[in-house]
Amino acid sequence: MSHKKGFIIFHNAIYHIAVLIVVASSISPLVGIGSNQPQNIMAQQQQQQQSQVNQTSSFDDVVQQRPLEGISFQIDNVTFSHHMASVNGIQMHYVIGGQGDPVVLLHGYPQSWYEWRNIMPALAKNYTVIAPDLRGFGDSSKPVTGYDGNTTAEDIYQLVSQLGFSNIFLVAHDVGVQTAYSYAVDHPNNVIKLVLMDFAFPGFFPPEIGENGPWWFAFYQVPNLPEALIEGKEREYLSWFMKGLAYNPSAITEEAIDVFASHAASPGGLRGGFEYFRAFPEDAEQNRQSAQNKITTPVLQLGGDIYPALGGDLPVSFGLSSTQAVAANVTGVIVPLSGHWIPEEQPGFVIDQLFNFFGNNTNGID
């Protein structure tokens, strides 16, 4: 065990050094940062939107533009639509489709609702699927403050309430897990079951990832610096970052990187994602307080199997031990042959796990 931990620490250090080299070698000097690229992107997107009003778009068309209220599109012959809602002082974009009991899908960093594209059609056969962009991400507002778990959970609670739902199945990945957990803490009678993927709770980081977590946790928490270094190279950075944490890099498609990078390059996009990490100290205080009375909601915790950028397979699921610190009824499952991006790397496995956990099976799913 000590040898393996040393191996992981060594590769962590190499990975950290690598990112500094990449940033230093591939990004233009700071004096050149701050071009008109975000404004140009917004202008192009506005032109695209004007041509899409009052029509149903294909899925490929929709992911290349900023969505408008009510625009519909299809994934695998299942119809979804884009909407905006005023919640908790912000504008929240969400995608909705299907029918039945509500399943709310919360994405992670540096993604958006689009993370769930391979999961949504199967779920929509039996459930109403609601996939929002968390504040700071995608096409939702990017305010300066409000990225702690309690505030982001209130965003989602107000959205769900506006849609007329009370009891929900709640599924989350990465930083979305903090939002989902805080939702279950604040509204324990409204969450039927909770699925959490690949996240360690601030205040309860396990030894496997160190007291302060992986290198990017600290990097993103530095005020203004990561924005200055990455601006203008959002696509290059996110492609490198995401593929490094994937066991199946091909699952992170070029189209997906385009979608996530375009959001990061929009005004406030980089900062919005980093603010979740900057809220970790506040989250840690909230989590330690709430963990004194662990939630009793049934929890399924899905963890990745292999993390190439972190030196291979971790000794245990780091998310499981952390989740057990805050929840009393936890079932842990390792997702075979998956890295961090579980919904994209192993969507079929995830779909089966969700239906089994929710109390259904996939026999009726095409």
Instruction: List the domain boundaries for the chain.
Output: 2-24+60-358
Pairing of strands 191-197, 127-132: unpaired
Q: What is the pLDDT of residue 80?
A: 98
Q: What tokens appear for 168 in the block?
A: 């929900």
- pLDDT recorded at residue 65: 52
User: Would you list the DSSP string of 197-234?
Assistant: ES---TT---GGG-TT-SHHHHHHHSSSHHHHHHTT-H
Per-residue pLDDT, 366: 34
Per-residue pLDDT of the chain (366 residues; tens, 9 = 90+): 333 343 343 344 434 434 443 444 443 333 232 333 333 333 333 333 333 333 344 555 555 455 568 899 999 999 999 999 999 999 999 999 999 999 999 999 999 999 999 999 999 999 999 999 999 999 999 999 999 999 999 999 999 999 999 999 999 999 999 999 999 999 999 999 999 999 999 999 988 788 888 999 999 999 999 999 999 999 999 999 999 999 999 999 999 999 999 999 999 999 999 999 999 999 999 999 999 999 999 999 999 988 776 666 655 577 899 999 999 999 999 999 999 999 999 999 999 999 999 995 443 333
> How many angstroms separate the CA atoms of 171 and 177, rounded?
8
Length of the chain: 366
What pLDDT sits at residue 66?
Answer: 57
Task: Say what the pLDDT of residue 361 is.
Answer: 42
In 3D, which of 222, 225, 174, 239 has the Cα closest to residue 22?
239
Which is nearest to 200 in space by CA: 239, 173, 235, 162?
Answer: 173
Contact 300, 353 (CB under 8 A): yes
**Sequence letter at residue 106:** L
First to last CA, the chain: 44
pLDDT of residue 68: 67
Q: Quick one: pLDDT at residue 349? A: 98
Q: Token digits for 113?
A: 């609702």
Which residue type sits at 293? Answer: N
CB-based contacts of 302, cutoff 8 Å, min separation 6:
195, 196, 197, 198, 319, 333, 334, 335, 342, 350, 353
Q: What is the CATH number of domain 2-24+60-358?
A: 3.40.50.1820
